[in-house]
Amino acid sequence: MKLYDYILSPSCYKIRLMAALLGVKLDIRPVDFHPGMEHRGPELLALNPAGSIPILMDGDLVLTESSAMLAYLAARSGPEWLGCDAPQEAARAQQWLSFSHRLTTNLGGARLHQMLLRPGNIEALRAQGIAALRELEAGLFEQRLRDMRFLTLDRPTIADIACFPYVALAPDGGISLDAYPNIRLWLRAIRSLEGFMEMPGIHRLHELKPDPHPVKEDK
């Protein structure tokens, strides 16, 4: 499978993260998103006329929506990540997948404005982002009342991976996570998963994971 990828894109990262958690190897094709705008060039527009990344290719299959990519990876290599067959749980998973697009628009928009100087109404983006975080905090609080740590179950699903990156990177857009204890616990739970991989700005839990490159003490 080939992933057209930009290392600083949370949408691309969620696909790399899902693949890492599933033990799936991806052929990474770096895209000069900034400043080169390669995603708007003829090669990538031929694959995705919307001019966005990530793009996932597997043989003749070309996927251009990150939620579809998460579902495809899970269906191939870890069906348990799709959730369960109970109608209520399936509906919750789909609802959070849809919710993740709001996070991309508002939290992601604020981050692009701050980091890449993309035009936008930063105050409106932050206000919408805070409203989304409050909704997520309330949902996670309700889950904790059910003794569940994740968005739909007591184990992660593709819904958690869909929402995770833009929330974790909200401070890049000037939106603090200090006021959301349940979100911070949820972020911690995801970062402690076996196989978790980092991206710039999102690190592993150093207190839970051993240092992969320990310093040898002089004797």
Residue 212 lies in a domain: no
Count other C-beta atoms under 10 Å from residue 26's C-beta: 17
Instruction: Report, as an integer, the average pLDDT of 3-30.
Output: 96
53 with 119, same domain: the answer is no
20 with 39, same domain: the answer is yes
94 with 181, same domain: the answer is yes
73 with 112, same domain: the answer is no
Whole-number pLDDT of residue 175:
96
Nearest alpha-carbon partner for 90 in 162, 159, 19: 159
| Domains held by the chain: number | 2
107 with 164, same domain: the answer is yes
Least confident of 15-19, 140-144, 208-212: 208-212
pLDDT one-digit tens code per residue, 34-80? 887 888 889 999 999 999 999 999 999 999 999 999 999 999 999 99
Whole-number pLDDT of residue 118:
82
On the question of pLDDT at 164 being above 60, the answer is yes
Residue 149 lies in a domain: yes
Under a CB-based contact definition with an 8 Å cutoff, are residues 100 and 161 in contact?
A: no
Residue 124 lies in a domain: yes
Q: What is the CATH number for 51?
A: 3.40.30.10
Structural domain that includes position 146: 82-191
Whole-number pLDDT of residue 90:
85
Q: What is the CATH number for 132?
A: 1.20.1050.10
Instruction: Report, as an integer, the average pLDDT of 85-104.
Output: 91
15 with 94, same domain: the answer is no
DSSP symbols for 100-158: HHHHHHHHHHHHHHHHH---S-HHHHHHHHHHHHHHHHHHHHHHHHTT--SSSSSS--H
64 with 90, same domain: the answer is no
93 with 67, same domain: the answer is no
If you search the block for the tokens 């109404």, which residue do you land on?
121
Whole-number pLDDT of residue 206:
60
Residue 201 lies in a domain: no
75 with 89, same domain: the answer is no
